[in-house]
Structure 1
Amino acid sequence: MRPAPAPAATGPRGAPPPERRPRPARRLAALMLAAVLLPAARPAAAIEPPRLATEARSAPQLDWAAIEHPEALRRRCDQGVQALDRERQALVRRVASGEASPLAGYGAITEGHEDRLLPLAFLGRVHPQDAMRQAARACELRQQAALQRLHQQTRLLEALRALAPTDPVEQRLRQLLIRRFERAGAGLPPVERDHAMALQQALGAEIQAFERALSDDRRVLAFEPEALAGLPAASLAELPRDARGRYSLGFDAVTADTLLRLARRPATRERYWRAWLRQGGEANLRRLARIVELRREHAALFGAASPAELELRERMAGDPATAAAFLDRLEAQIAPLQAAELAELQALLDADPDAPPGRRLQRWDQAHYLERLRQARHPHDPEALRRHLPPQAAVDLVMALAQRSFGLRFERLPATLWHPSAQRWRLLDAQDGRVIGELLLDLHPRPGKYGHFAVFPLRGAAPGRQPLAALVGNFDREGLSLVELETLLHEFGHALHVLLARPRHVDAAALQQPLDFVEVPSQLLEGWIDDPRLLALLPGVCPRCVPMPPELAQAALAARRVGRALHVGRQLLFARYDLQLHGPDGLRSPAPLALWRRLEAASPLGHVPGSLFPASFDHIVGEYAAGYYGYLWAQVIAADLRTAFAPDLFDPATGRRWRERVLEAGNERPPEALIQAFLGRSVREDAFRRWLQGR
Structure 2
Amino acid sequence: MTKLTPPQAPATWTHTPEQVTTLINELIAKDRALWDKVGSLRPEECTFESLAISRADAEMETETEPLIFYQNVSTSKELRDASNAAEVLLREYGIEMSMRVDVYQAKVNAEKNIKASGRKLNPEEERLVEKLVLDGKRAGLDLPEEERKELEKLKKELSQTCVEFSKNFNEENGRVSFTLEELKGVPEDVISGYPKREEDKKTLYDVTFKTPDIFPLFKFAENPETRRKAYEGYDDRLAVNAPLLDRILDLRRRIAKLLRYPTWADYVTEVKMVKDAANVHTFLDDLQKKLHPVGLKDRETLLKLKEKEHAEKGYSFDGAFYLWDYRYYDQKFIQSSLDLDEKLVKEYLPVSVIVPQIIQIYQHLLSIKFVEIKGDAWHSEVQQYSVWKKDAKTPEDFLGYCYLDLFPRTAKYSHAAVWGLIPGYLKPDETRHYPTVAMVANLAKPTPDRPALMTHDDAVTFFHEFGHAVHGLLSRTQFSKFHGTSVARDFVEAPSQMLENWGWEPKVLKKISSHYETQQPLPDDLIEKLIKSRYVNAGLFYLRQLFFATYDIKVHTDKDSTDYTQLWNELREDVSLVKGPKKPLPGQGSFAHITGGYDAGYYGYMYSLVFAADMYATVFKKDPLDPALGDKYRKSILVPGGSREELDSLKEFLGRPPNAEAFMKELFGDSKASSANL
TM-score w.r.t. the length of structure 2 is: 0.90
Q: Which residue of 2 aligns with 1:158?
A: 105
SS in 2 for 1:665: coil
Aligned counterpart, 1:469: 437
Counterpart in the other structure of 2:549: 575
Could you tell me how far apart the structure 2 residues matched to 1:545 and 1:192 are? 67
Paired AA for residue 511 in structure 1:
T
1:274-673 pair list within 5 angstroms: 274-281=232-239, 283-352=240-309, 353-354=312-313, 355-433=315-393, 434-463=397-426, 464-477=432-445, 478-538=452-512, 545-585=519-559, 587-589=560-562, 591-603=563-575, 604-608=577-581, 609-643=583-617, 644-673=619-648
Structure 1 residues 120 and 97: alpha-carbon distance in aligned structure 2, compared to 1, 3 A threshold: farther
My pick for the range that moved more, 558-567 or 181-190, is 181-190
Q: Is the 8 A contact 2:68 2:84 kept in 1?
A: yes
**Contact residue 566 and residue 584 of structure 2 kept, 8 A:** no
Matching residue of 2:675: none
Could you report, residue by residue, the CA deviation over 1:466-502 in whole angstroms, capped at 9, with x for unpaired residues? Answer: 1111111111121211111111111111111111111
Instruction: Structure 1 unaligned segments of length 5 or more: list them.
Output: 1-50
- Cα displacement (A) at 1:100: 6.0
Secondary structure, in 3 states, of the residue corresponding to 1:441? strand
Cα distance 1:536–1:361, how it changes in 2: closer, same or farther (>3 A)? closer
> Which residue does 1:91 correspond to in 2?
38
CA contact (8 A) 1:58 1:426 kept: no
Amino acid in structure 2 at the alignment position of 1:76? L
For the 8 Å contact 1:88–1:109, the answer to whether it is kept is no
Q: Name 2:173's counterpart in structure 1.
A: 218
Q: Which has the higher contact order (CA 8 A, sep 6+)?
A: 1
Give yes or no for contact 1:219–1:250 (8 Å, CA) kept in 2. Answer: yes
* Counterpart position of 2:133: 178
Residues 23-62 of structure 1: CA deviation (Å, up to 9, x unaligned): xxxxxxxxxxxxxxxxxxxxxxxxxxxx9x9764142243
Instruction: Report if the CA contact (8 A) 1:56-1:413 is conserved.
Output: no
Deviation of 1:640 (Å): 0.5
Equivalent position SS for 1:227:
coil
Alpha-carbon contact 1:315-1:514 (below 8 Å) kept = yes
Match of 1:135 in 2: 82
Residues 524 and 661 of structure 1: CA distance in aligned 2, closer, same or farther (over 3 Å): same
Cα pair distance change 1:306/1:218, threshold 3 Å: same
1:267 aligns with 2:190: no
SS class of match (2:45)? coil
Cα separation, 2, equivalents of 1:93 and 1:140:
28
User: Shift of residue 180 of structure 1?
Assistant: 2.1
- 1:605–1:443 CA distance, 2 compared to 1 (3 A): same
Aligned residues: 639
Cα displacement (A) at 1:361: 1.7
CA distance in 2, matches of 1:631, 1:646: 21
Give how far 1:369 is off. 0.7
Cross-structure match for 2:673: none
- The answer (yes or no) to whether the contact 1:312–1:320 under 8 Å persists in 2 is yes
SS at match of 1:90: helix
Matches of 1:241 and 1:539 in 2, distance apart? Answer: 32
User: For residue 234 of structure 2, what is the amino acid of its counterpart?
Assistant: W
Alpha-carbon displacement from aligned partner over 1:593-637 (angstroms, at most 9, x marks no partner): 233234224232244333221111111122000000000001111
- CA deviations over 1:136-171 (Å, ceiling 9, x no partner): 010011111222232222233223223236243222
CA contact (8 A) 1:306 1:583 kept: yes
Note the alpha carbon deviations across 1:228-269, whole angstroms, 9 max, x for none. 111112221221222121211111112221001111111111
Q: 1:669 to 1:105 in 2, by over 3 A?
A: closer
Once the 2 structures are TM-superposed, how far is the Cα of residue 510 of structure 1 from its aligned partner?
2.7
Counterpart in 1 of 2:12?
63
Q: CA deviation at 1:358?
A: 4.4
In the aligned structure 2, how far is the partner of 1:99 from the partner of 1:640?
44
Tell me the distance in 2 between the aligned counterparts of 1:103 and 1:549: 62
CA shift, 1:96, in A, is: 5.6
Amino acid across the alignment from 2:215: D
Q: Percent identity?
A: 26
Aligned residue runs from structure 1 range 65-84, under 5 A:
65=14, 67=15, 69-84=16-31
Residue type of the alignment partner of 1:381: D
Aligned-pair CA distance for 1:108:
2.3
- 1:544 CA drift (Å): 9.3
Deviation by residue 1:404-456 (Cα, 9 ceiling, x = unmatched): 22222211121211100112212212144511111111111110111111111
CA distance in 2, matches of 1:501, 1:195: 38
With the length of structure 1 as denominator, give the TM-score of the two structures: 0.88
Deviates more, 1:440-449 or 1:421-430: 421-430
Q: Matched residue of 1:447: which SS?
A: coil
Q: Aligned to 1:410, what secondary structure does the other structure show?
A: strand
Corresponding residue for 2:117? Answer: none
How far apart in 2 are the matches of 1:414 and 1:94? 47
Q: Deviations over 1:337-361 (max 9, x none)?
A: 2111111101101111233144422
